[in-house]
Amino acid sequence: MLDFLGRLFKGSEGSKTKAKERLRLVLVHDRASLSPGLVNALKEDLIEVISKYMEIDEAGMEVMFDEGDDSVALTANIPVKSVKRRVD
C-alpha cells in the first residue's frame, strides 16, 4: 500500500526536483556568464563528436554545470544505445 501511495505522489516530487534543478542551472549559467545559445552550441558539438563513436539517446542527454567555490564543472549524462565498431 505504501508503495502505491509513493508512486502516486512521486510525480509531484519529481516536478519539484526538476524545477529546482532548472533554477540551479540558470543561476550557474548566470554566474559562469554562459548564454543559452552557447550552452546549446556546446551540447550540439558534444552530440556530433560522441555520435562518431556511439549511438546515443539525444533526447535523454543532460548537460549540466556544477558550481564549486571558485570554479564551474561541466557534467554530461549521455545515454548510450550502442557502441559503433567502425568509425565513419
pTM, rounded to two decimals? 0.55
C-alpha cell at 12: 509531484
**Quick one: pLDDT at residue 5?**
47
Of residues 55 and 4, more confidently modeled:
55
Q: pLDDT per residue over 33-62, tens digit each?
A: 677 788 788 888 988 999 999 999 988 888
* Per-residue 3-state assignment (H helix, E strand, C coil) for 11-59: HHHHHHHHHHHHHHHHHHHHHHCCCHHHHHHHHHHHHHHHHCCEEECHH
**Quick one: pLDDT at residue 79?**
93
Max CA-CA distance within the chain?
A: 52
Per-residue pLDDT averaged across 65-76, rounded?
78
Please give the share of the chain, as a percent, with pLDDT higher than 70. Answer: 72
